[in-house]
Amino acid sequence: MEKARNVDEYINQQKAAIAANPECGNSHYNLAVALLGQKKYDEAELSLFDAIENSPNLAEAYVQLGGISLQRNDLEGCLDWNKRSIHARAGFAEGHANIGFVHMQMGNVDEAIPSLEKAVRWNPKFLQAYTTLANAYLMQGQIEACIKTNLKVIDLEPNFPVAYNNLAIAYMENGEFELAIENADKAVEMGYDVAPEILKELATHR
């Protein structure tokens, strides 16, 4: 297929592919992703339904349906679609990460952690999953696990200010103020808005 020059041409290509082969789940999925890019959520949703009807194991389609649910502030729906994604493909890191994220949004930290741990086990370079997992550990009071996970984030992406901010908080909780100051300063240097109350508390230890 010739490379599309713009989104509209790409959409027309996918529609042509579907007309030629209506049972190709990938074409329905590709069309849905393009429609999502245009914020045509209702049309995209119908295309995703067609995608999973023809390719029930297309885990990405379930995740996209979860994203549409999230767009509508339907956390339960988002959770359900992402659970379906990991039933379609057990080792689908994005599905596990999204389940963890939704549980965090619902305040279910204990339920979030196992899903986030699975996400990083299946994809050891999943930056956002590590970051969310580190926050979950912090909220649960597992400070050492939080520090270790944030250090992993920095190992993957040394210029990720959120991780330095989170490390500063974790080291503060541990009473390791020199390390907390060092990491808070790095976060600030990178343009991150460290909470004023954290900077104020650290100022007393400089």
Q: For 63-90, how does the pLDDT look when each residue is reduced to its tens digit (9 = 90+)?
A: 999 999 999 999 999 999 999 999 999 9
Instruction: Provide the residue range defining the domain that includes 202.
Output: 159-206
**In this structure, is residue 114 part of a structural domain?**
yes
Percent of the chain residues past pLDDT 90, beyond the cut? 90
Per residue in 148-191, pLDDT (tens digit) is: 999 999 999 999 999 999 999 999 999 999 999 999 999 999 99
**In this structure, is residue 69 part of a structural domain?**
no
Q: Which of 85, 88, 7 is nearest to 44 (CA)?
A: 7
Q: CA-to-CA distance for 86 and 63, rounded, in angstroms?
A: 9
**In this structure, is residue 62 part of a structural domain?**
no
CATH number at residue 129: 1.25.40.10
Q: Give the chain's mean pLDDT.
A: 94
The pLDDT assigned to 1 comes to 55
Q: Which of 8, 10, 45, 48 is nearest to 28 (CA)?
A: 48
163 and 147 in one domain?
A: no
- Work out how many domains the chain is built from and give that number: 3
143 and 171 in one domain?
A: no
191 and 137 in one domain?
A: no
